[in-house]
Structure 1
């Protein structure tokens, strides 16, 4: 499949997505100051070819939460506003900036932390790190999260091998309509 076409689709979608959701982004940012005092969450993640990039999201956990994978974090660290942001997936909207910058795609394997060594090794073995990470993908819409590194890397590989324009739009539509739950918090 033509990578230029997907990059163009990503850029257009991210640009207009940010433009259309600007009022929501502004409101959540302001409310986030009252919720945590620091509404924007930025964290180093593993990008294409293991190149680090800074992922941008709305903060959903208290500021002092340890930097671990979501499935290892405690639900007690999620704020009330954060629970709403996660449920509605609004916390993911700032990642459109990462897409605009070319660090992520709308569709691809979810970017992990550098301390998730087991997942990185499994993804390296399957060639998953050869593509841009994404906001959503096959594993996410099938409720497979980072708590099962080998299974996740298998589904990521399957997505990459069967990727098409139709799949690109299908994963986006499934995510927008609430299919999948993203990374769970214990």
Structure 2
């Protein structure tokens, strides 16, 4: 059942949309989405190269949204609303210091650190990093990371089939639990403000 979601144009659109959400610091891990691209590619449901490129472009779009949010709205906006994305004053300060010290290398390097992958776009936008440089290092970082994840999903397809079988069996329960967790997460973040 879940496999048919990844089949055809809908599958590519889903990969792109999920990776945009991952790129804007929402709790949609690329560590789950991109191995699924590899797994479903091994079954012939999706082209691995096209899935990889669309996932990487989705991450890039999400990163650009974060970059421009910081660039145009600045520190006060991020301090006020950044907590919704796990970005508080201390984390923003640490990222900004790291960015000012390492610049483009920081943007590239952070693309390989789960939990910080999307957040580095904020200090890049605050610092006004040149957009061409930002796009190049962000795209390359995402492409390398996503390639590794797609390969893992493809290479370990037999292990994934066990997990996917369980997910298929309990898909509706998992979906309801996921929606509840996301709603609780957003409500908690809003209450902390």
Q: TM-score, normalised by structure 1?
A: 0.35
- CA radius of gyration, larger in: 2
Normalized per residue, which structure has more strand? 1
Normalized per residue, which structure has more helix? 2
Structure with larger RCO (C-alpha < 8 A, sep 6+)? 2
